[in-house]
Chains A and B, each alone.
Chain A
Amino acid sequence: MKEVFEIRCHHCHAAADAMQSDWCHCVAKKPSIVCARCGACWCTAPQKAQDAFWQYAPGELHEAREAVIARRKAALRRNVTAKKTVMIVDDDEEIREITAHAVEELGYQAVTVERADLAVSTAMRMSPDLVITDALMPRLDGRVLCGLLKDAMPEIPVVIMTSLYTSLRYKLEAYRDFGADEYLTKPINFAQLREVLTTLAPMAA
C-alpha cells in the first residue's frame, strides 16, 4: 500500500498528500513540493516549517526528491554540452554549403533552408540559437525575413549576410527597421563569422 503524507499548505492551508504533489522549479534551492491548489511551493514556507516537514517526511519522499535533483542535473549537463544550432537561409546552394561547413567547423550544428518564405516555420520548429540569412532572395527579402523572425521569436539573434547592401544606410536600416543583431557583408569573412557566432551564440566553456 502506498504511503500517504498528509500536509497543509503553508499559504492557502489546503490539505494535500505530499507523496502525490508536484516538484517546484525554484532555482536557488533543492526542489520542494508544490500546492496543487494555490501553486505555493514548500520552499517558501518559514524555515522552521520546512525543517519539520523534511524531518517527518517519509524516506520515499526523500528518495523521490533526490531522483528529481539527479534528473535535473543530467538535463543541465545535456544542455550545456549540446551543440548550438545555426540556421542558414540562402537561395544559393554553394553559399549555403560553404557557410554550413564553416559553422560546423566552429563546433555548431548547421541547418540550411533554401527558401526564405519557409524559414520562419522552420525556425519555429527547430528553435535555432542563431539565424544567418542572405538579403536578396527570390521570394522574400532577407531583411523582411529578419523582421518576421523578430516578431515571432525575438530571443533568437538574426544576422543578415549579403553582398548587396554594403552601404551604411542599408546597415542602419537593417538594424533599426528590421531588428537585425548583426550585419555581415559577403564574401564571407570566416574570422568575422567566428566572432559573430561566439558573441551571439557563445558555446559553453
Chain B
Amino acid sequence: MNVAALQQKYGERLRQRVTAVGQAVASRADGASLSRQFHSIAGLAGTIGFDHATAVAREGELLAAEPNADFDVLSSIVGRLQSAIEGSPALHHAA
C-alpha cells in the first residue's frame, strides 16, 4: 500500500470528519456520539499514517465517553487534532 497516495486520497475526508466533530462539540452533542466520531477519526487517521492525530483522537474518544465530559477540553482536543493533521510531515509529503 502506498501510504502517500492514501493520504492524498483520504486526507480531505479526514479533515471533514474533524470539522464535523468540532461542530458536534460546539453544539454539545451527546458523549456517546462524540466518542464514536473521535473513534472513527482515530481509525482513519492511523490507517493512513497520521499517527499523532490518532493518539489525539483517542484522547477525545476516551474523554467524550466519560459522564460529564468537559467540553472545553474536548474543544481543545479538536484544535490539537487539526494541528496534528495540518502539521503532519506526512501530509506535506503527500501534497
Give the total of A residues in contact with B, Cβ under 8 Å: 14
Q: Which of B10, B42, B43, B45 has the most CB of A within 10 A?
A: B43
Would A94 and B13 be within 8 Å (CB), given that A101-B1, A136-B39 are in contact? yes
Secondary structure at the B interface, as helix, strand, loop or mixed, is helix
B83 within 8 A of A: no
A170 within 8 A of B: no
Shortest Cβ distance from B45 into A: residue = A187
Contact B48 A98, beta carbon cutoff 8 Å: yes
Q: Which of A98, A102, A187, A188 has the most CB of B within 10 A?
A: A187
Contact A95 B43, beta carbon cutoff 8 Å: yes
Contact A187 B1, beta carbon cutoff 8 Å: no
Q: Mark B27-66, 1 if CB is under 8 A from A, else 0.
A: 0000000000001101111111000001000000000000
Contact B43 A186, beta carbon cutoff 8 Å: yes
Q: Which residues in A have their C-beta under 8 angstroms from that of B10?
A: 94, 98
Q: Which residues in A have their C-beta under 8 angstroms from that of B48?
A: 98
B69 within 8 A of A: no
B20 within 8 A of A: no
Shortest Cβ distance from A194 into B: residue = B1
A164 within 8 A of B: yes
- Of residues 159 through 203 on chain A, the ones whose CB sits less than 8 Å from some CB of chain B are 163-164, 186-188, 190
Smallest CB separation, A160 vs chain B (Å): 14
Shortest Cβ distance from A193 into B: residue = B1
| A contacts, CB < 8 Å to B | 92, 94-95, 98, 101-102, 105, 136, 163-164, 186-188, 190
Jot down 24 A-B pairs with beta carbons below 8 A, ordered by A. Answer: A92-B40, A92-B43, A92-B44, A94-B10, A94-B44, A94-B47, A95-B43, A95-B44, A98-B1, A98-B10, A98-B47, A98-B48, A101-B1, A136-B39, A163-B42, A163-B46, A164-B39, A186-B43, A186-B47, A187-B43, A187-B47, A188-B46, A188-B47, A190-B1
| B contacts, CB < 8 Å to A | 1, 6, 10, 13, 39-40, 42-48, 54
